[in-house]
Amino acid sequence: MEYDERLALFRQTRLNPFDRGEEEDGPQGGKTPPQHEARPELFSGTRTHSSDRTMDLGLAEDHFSRPVGSFVASDIEQLKLAIEECKKLILELPEHSERQKDTVVKLIHLRLKLQELKDPEEDEPNLRILLEHRFSKEKSKSVKQTCDKCSTIIWGLIQTWYTCTGCYYRCHSKCMNLITKPCVRSKVSHQSEYELSICPEIGLDRQDYRCAECRTPISLRGVPSEARQCDYTGQYYCSTCHWNDTAIVPARVIHNWEFEPRKVCRSSMRYLALMLSRPVLRLKEINPLLFNFVEELVEIRKLRQDILLMKPYFITCKEAMEARLLLQLQDRQHFVENDDMYSLQDLIDISSGRLSCSLTEIHTTFAKHIKLDCERCQAKGFVCELCKEGDILFPFDSHTSVCHDCSAVFHRDCYYDNSTTCPRCARMTERKQDDVSDVKEA
């Protein structure tokens, strides 16, 4: 840490609750001790009076060895007095002087040691389970985070903090017992569906002028707390539960093809993030008219239909299985299962054009294997029985048509111009009739 940064940190924390009394737990009430031992040579006692006097920082005693067993309150009191004297000395010494730099370093280590004495690391488990949250203790000390419960900064250097491995809820160790909201991932697991009405507002009066999540009194005038509306749920929340985060709202995408991020509450933001890649949107049932206005959707639907027609070739082809061609769609597994389910991420990528490019490239690779690279797959092609001319046909070719009854493939022009029935269906019907006649004769 550079000197200017250390000095700035000291000035920001001069009036921090960390130094206001024994009842406070720290800058934000955390409980993580420092990870490195202080160097004894930095903490030898010095004496000064203002710039000339001698000041005893109380550092002659061994405050910096790790406490064994219990410790007495006087140790903490001595460290607090040393911190106060150190802060006064920093303000009295000339700026950017070597003595001021050394004193800032000493102050930081004194704070770390005080926190270590108050909150021993052994008291904090690595994993805690609460309201279906699975909280894992974080190791990072330098990343700046904000507590989702109290909305204050998490000082990782001197505070213990946890992250839920399911919904990524972050909070201080001291705030964990105050959490009332269950893990959002459990909702995703049991109820994987979106709110499909655009901002379904019920009114602040129906909420009894209270936050929809924590029930804190709120009002549109900001007294006692500002009411903030979530565009996804339509409900109002307090500033602690709604940080003006923005997210793309599924209802606006499906009904208006609108991808502008809207302000949502914290719980909605986490829910939408977890649901982003889940294929739960059946567009042809929710809003079938969308295909009439969005050409990209029609293109993607055709590519997906072709891929489903290619799938039987791959699952019966040894070379395709060894090359693992279908794994090119492992991030969108639903593309090889159906052609009508979409995730919100699919729609976002369709709007940006990314999905069209990647899916076209995969479609080309699949078609090349079947029609050019693999003799086994080529042998499964069709010859048009109506004109008996032309190359080998495949059901995913753009100029072909497929019989819905027997899956035979024909040239599109031949299939629609011919007024007779499908030759293959006619043969199959005739064969069944012959089998029935043979049974009767027997």
What is the phi/psi pair of residue 24, to 5°?
A: -85, 150
User: Which residue, among 387, 375, 394, 392, has the nearest Cα to 423 in the 3D structure?
Assistant: 387
**Phi-psi group of 370: left, alpha or beta (phi > 0 → left; psi -120 to 50 → alpha; rest → beta):** alpha
Higher model confidence: residue 406 or residue 286? Answer: 286
Q: Which two tokens stand for residue 15?
A: 């009036």
Joined tokens for residue 36: 């490195």
For the segment 337-349, what is each residue's pLDDT rounded down to a tens digit? 999 999 999 999 9
* pLDDT, position 77: 82
DSSP string, 301-353: HHHHHHHHHHHHHHHT-HHHHHHTGGGGGGGGGGGGT-SSEE-HHHHHHHHHT
CB 153 within 8 A of CB 167: no
Burial of 47 (0-12, 13-18, 19+ CB in 10 A): exposed
Give the pLDDT confidence of 118-169 residue by residue, as tens digits: 654 445 678 888 888 888 888 776 677 888 888 888 887 778 888 898 888 8
pLDDT at 225: 85
342 token code pair: 């979409």
Per-residue pLDDT, 126: 82
> For 16-20, 269-273, 280-284, which range has the lowest pLDDT when averaged over its residues?
16-20
- The better pLDDT of the pair 440, 425 is held by 425
Q: How confident is the model at residue 357 (pLDDT cuts 50, 70, 90)?
A: very high
At residue 368, the pLDDT reads: 93
- pLDDT band at 390, cuts 50/70/90? confident
Its sign, for the CA torsion 262, 267, 273, 274, is negative
Tokens coding 432:
């069944």
CB 172 within 8 A of CB 160: yes
**Residue 254 near residue 290, CB atoms below 8 Å:** yes
pLDDT at 114 over 50: yes
Identify the residue with better confidence: 366 or 167: 366
What's the chain's average pLDDT? 80
Contacts of 160 by beta carbon, 8 Å cutoff, 6+ apart: 30, 31, 32, 119, 121, 124, 137, 172, 173
Q: Which residue has 């064994």 as its token pair?
A: 68
